[in-house]
Amino acid sequence: MLRQIALLLISLTLLLSCVVSSDVEEDEQQKKLKVFRYNQHEGLNSLDPSKAKNQANIWVASQLYNGLFEFTEDLSVHPCIAQSWEVSDNGKLYKITIRDDVYFHDNPVFEKGIGRRVTAHDFEYSFKRILNYENGSSGSWIFSDKLERDDKGNYTAESIKALDNATLQIKLKKPIHTFLQILAMPYAFVVPKEAVEFYGEDFGRNPVGTGPFILNPEEWDQGTNLILRKNPNYWRKDNNLTELPKLDVVEVSFIADKTQEYLTFLQGKLDFISGVDGNTIEHILEKDGSVKANILERYKVQKMPYLNTEYLGFQLDANKYKDKNHPLLDVRVRKALSHAIDRKELVSFLRNNLGIAGTEGFVPYALPAHHKGSVRGYDFDPETARQLLAEAGFPEGKDFPEITLYTNPVYSLMIEYLQRQWKKILNIDIEIELNTFTKHQEMVDEGKALFFRGAWLGDYPNEENYLTCFYTPHFSPAGPNKTHYSNKEFDQLFEQAQQEQNSWKRYELFHQMEQLVLDDCAVIVLFYDEVLRVMQKRVVDLEPNSMNYLRLERVDFNKNVLDSPVAEK
């Protein structure tokens, strides 16, 4: 392994010492098109916003669709297709007026192939669509426990209703202070009924939205690349009244290996990368987490707190186990695994201090409710770990059965590190199974992975969104509760926090909920992540944000900067 890493670093150094021009770049210059290229290592399975549950889907869908509201770079909620809105005094009735100048993309599903104007009826259809269980949306949870219901538990006719072409009404069963944030989520993007009905199950490959870019399905080669082209009829302009988007083409590649992705970036064949793996992180960051001087000379680097918590999850539903006495159903075993991890060494050794050791709660550092010391997490404590394992009936790891930890190849180095820690501290063998990102996610959502590596990137910038991962009504696959954790006290506190208007009182409730989850060890918090973005010098107006959203409608190129990296020979 050391020899492989040494060879890799030599290759990286050689690549930095020269300028590599590709056939693609020469072709771009000939055509004089502004082509922005990025890679999505996770792969992509659908561009239907009702299934936008991972970064790959969200990044592309965000270029194709719009919603009523959106998050700006500072994570504030701003109107998008919404022109204005009113909220009743009791906080349960929303009336939203939408713009009259927003049109769907031109598509054969419309009369004469010309995209029609968006109305409030389209939002009513889109929202009710994700609530329809038959559609298989993973986003039904954003509305299911919030909308007004009748005595029989059915949604009322007034809960989501277009009053006319310009006005959408939403009635909640109780006030929710985060509701505008929820409406800014990708799940709430608007789609046209004509396209969904025409394409049916293939709508995810034939997206029709209102966004700055358009996809021709023929330009999507699954697993290889995808090309988005400028929407010539996009409704939005920038502050200087310049038409958007400024780019002509967005080209997305699907290189699964993060090291190969980085090499491709160094060759000038990608304009932007987000995140690096253990093989390349030392090439970018010093051991203290600062960016290396030679990287800053050649590229733009963005580094900031990330609304992402990396963790290991346990399936807690006993019905998912053949053996009802499985060790993972014993909280002492879960706690032993947690105490046996040196998180600070993990972040320092494997990540060059990119991120913060997860020794406290599930809510990341970037959110205001994360107050140091408010939630008791798990420190590295080998003695306690061995004692807990012995109490569970496995002294010094004796008779501990084979257990598999599921992940995908991007995280193999980190999981192998944990595997060695458990062997060293607890004398137990944990098997590792690597699957593609898509298969891994499906196994976790369906409860087939009993022990899995996970990450929660906030859908909206609020502590509630992290704790929704443990709310009983939000069991996966329809919701984000992938561990199937269920605790009545937690559920009561969660519902109380949704209605609490005082921020500090909400924080107290969040801390109580987090402590319940950690005391039950539903997850092992590994670290709170940081965003690391590296881009070519020519890229301008690609603003960073703590949710790592990719917003390309305002991005442009500086004509005075060369396309590929410049290095001294």
Cβ contact 82:68 at 8 Å: yes
Residue 24 has pLDDT above 90, yes or no: no
Mean pLDDT, residues 418-436 taken together: 97
Give the pLDDT score at 7: 46
Q: What angle do CA 405, 483, 479 make, to 5 degrees?
A: 125
Question: What average pLDDT score do residues 307-316 get?
Answer: 97
> Is-contact 204 51, C-beta < 8 A?
yes
Beta strands in 222-269 (DSSP E): 225-230, 249-253
**Environment class of 117 (CB within 10 Å of its CB; exposed 0-12, middle 13-18, buried 19+):** middle
Task: Pick the most confident of 42-51, 163-172, 372-381, 556-565.
Answer: 163-172
Query: Any alpha helices (H) in 327-484, and if so which ranges?
Result: 331-339, 343-351, 382-391, 412-426, 437-445, 463-467
Please check the confidence at residue 38 and state whether its pLDDT lies above 90: yes
Q: What is the mean pLDDT of residues 435-453?
A: 94
pLDDT, residue 20, reads: 41
SS (H, E, C) 408-420: CHHHHHHHHHHHH
pTM: 0.85
| Confidence at 562, pLDDT banded by 50, 70, 90 | low
73 has a pLDDT exceeding 90: no
pLDDT tens for each residue of 277-310: 878 899 999 999 999 999 999 999 999 999 999 9
Average pLDDT over residues 464-492: 96
Residue 377, H or E segment: none
- Average model confidence (pLDDT) across the chain: 91
66-205 shares the fold of 2-42+224-284+539-557: no
The residue among 530, 557, 41 whose CA lies nearest residue 284 is: 530
- Among 507, 531, 41, 448, which Cα is nearest to 270's? 41
Identify the pLDDT of residue 206: 97
Listed range (2-6, 126-130, 283-287, 358-362) with the worst mean pLDDT:
2-6
Helix (H, G, I), strand (E, B) or coil at 539: strand
Q: How confident is the model at residue 341 (pLDDT cuts 50, 70, 90)?
A: very high
pLDDT band at 135 (very low <50, low <70, confident <90, very high): confident
Residue 530, helix vs strand vs coil: strand
Q: What is the mean pLDDT of residues 188-198?
A: 97
Q: Which residues touch 357 (CB under 8 Å, ≥6 apart)? A: 343, 344, 346, 347, 527
What mean pLDDT comes out for the span 480-487? 97
Domain 2-42+224-284+539-557: state its class.
alpha beta
- Is the alpha carbon torsion for 469, 474, 480, 482 positive or negative? positive
Residue 306 and residue 531 in contact, taking contact as beta carbons nearer than 8 Å: yes
Q: Which residue has the higher pLDDT, 36 or 28?
A: 36
CB atoms inside a 10 Å sphere around CB 267: 17
For the chain, the domains span 2-42+224-284+539-557, 66-205, 306-529
Q: What pLDDT was estimated at residue 566?
A: 42
* DSSP assignment string, 140-194: THHHHTTB-B-TTSPBPTTSEEESSSSEEEEEBSS--TTHHHHHTSGGG----HH
Contact 104, 116 (CB under 8 A): yes
DSSP 3-state of 95: strand
What's the pLDDT score for residue 31?
Answer: 60
Q: What distance in Å separates the CA atoms of residue 264 and residue 254, rounded to the nearest whole number? A: 12
Task: Report the pLDDT value the prediction gives residue 5, as an integer from 0 to 100.
Answer: 44
* Distance between CA atoms of residues 508 and 390, nearest Å: 35
Q: How many Cβ atoms sit within 10 Å of the Cβ of residue 146?
A: 21
Residues 459, 58: Cα–Cα separation, whole Å: 10
H-type alpha helices, 246-361: 258-266, 281-284, 293-298, 331-339, 343-351
Flag whether pLDDT at 66 surpasses 90. Answer: yes
Q: Measured on CA atoms in the order 556, 557, 558, 559, is the torsion positive or negative?
A: negative
Write down the pLDDT at residue 273. 96
DSSP string of 487-518, one letter each residue: -HHHHHHHHHHHH---HHHHHHHHHHHHHHHH
Check if CATH label 3.10.450.50 holds for domain 66-205: no
Q: Which residue has the higher pLDDT, 193 or 566?
A: 193
SS3 string, 453-495, reads: EEEEECCCCCHHHHHHHHCHHHECCCCCECCCCCCHHHHHHHH
Q: Which residues of 177-202 are buried (b: 16+ CB within 10 A; e: fewer)?
A: bbbbbbbbbbbbbbbbebbbebbeee
- % of the chain with per-residue pLDDT over 70: 93
Question: 306-529, superfamily in CATH?
Answer: Dipeptide-binding Protein; Domain 3 (3.10.105.10)
Contacts of 491 (CB under 8 A, 6+ apart): 471, 472, 473
Question: How long a stretch of residues is the chain?
Answer: 569
Residue 275 binned pLDDT confidence (cut-offs 50, 70, 90): confident
